[in-house]
Amino acid sequence: PPPPVSISTSARQEMASRILSRRNLLPFIQRMNPKYMAGWVHEDICRRLERFSDDVAAGLSPRLMLLMPPRHGKSEVASKMFPAWHLGHHPDHEIIACSYNISLAMGFSKKIKALFDDPAYQTVFEARLNPDNRSTEEWAIHGNTGGYVAAGVGGGITGKGAHVLTIDDPIKNAEEADSAVTREGLWDWY
């Protein structure tokens, strides 16, 4: 028989990281950003998003609202990292991401596209960007039917479908939030 193969500690750690990153969102986030420091609320958000992802895949049409003050990490987890993780599992799913303006939504899109191009992502998931459809506003998954559309509130998403629709910061500031006209317009759009 051949001699037993010795696997280095670093190789074991890498394999464990890949397996955990595929299985759970928080290890994925920490793999993609080793400096990420998660608190209990981020752990909770990740668990909720994992359950949401499973429910979407099961065709249950779930709803999830994450309401937190600014600068508490909800956009980093839910609007930047989660779409890459979810599409890694479900490359045929379509995601539409909306924000108060197209610029913010496209910023999320750029971050997600950078994750797809990162070798750390590519060792966890097989999903790749379609080289012929990589605009920041709308892109697709190579060899699959899934993809991503970024839009501003009120923007053109009519006729587009989504397995996952995210609305992150639909109102720009307190002045708009205090405006009954703005709130009514947002509700009509929704």
pLDDT in tens, the chain (190 residues): 776 767 788 999 999 999 999 999 999 999 999 999 999 999 999 999 999 999 999 999 999 999 988 889 999 999 999 999 999 999 999 999 999 999 999 999 999 999 999 999 999 999 999 999 999 999 999 999 999 999 998 887 878 889 999 999 888 888 988 999 988 988 888 8
What is residue 189's predicted lDDT score, i.e. its pLDDT? 83
Beta-carbon contacts of 149 under 8 Å, excluding residues fewer than 6 positions away, are: 94, 95, 96, 97, 137, 138, 157, 160, 162
Largest CA distance in the chain: 78
Q: Give me the helix-helix angle, 82-89 and 102-117, nearest 10°.
A: 50
Q: Which two tokens stand for residue 168?
A: 């992150």
With H, G, I as helix, E, B as strand and everything else as coil, classify residue 158: coil
Instruction: Report how far residue 166's alpha carbon sits from residue 140's, in angstroms, rounded to the nearest whole number.
Output: 17
Identity (one letter) of the amino acid at 23?
R
Nearest-10 Cα torsion for 70, 74, 78, 80: 70
Burial level of 79, CB count in 10 A (0-12/13-18/19+)? buried
Pairing state between β 94-99 and 147-152: parallel
Instruction: Report how far residue 64's alpha carbon sits from residue 51's, in angstroms, rounded to the nearest whole number.
Output: 10
Instruction: Note whether 99 and 153 are within 8 A (CB).
Output: yes
Global pTM?
A: 0.91
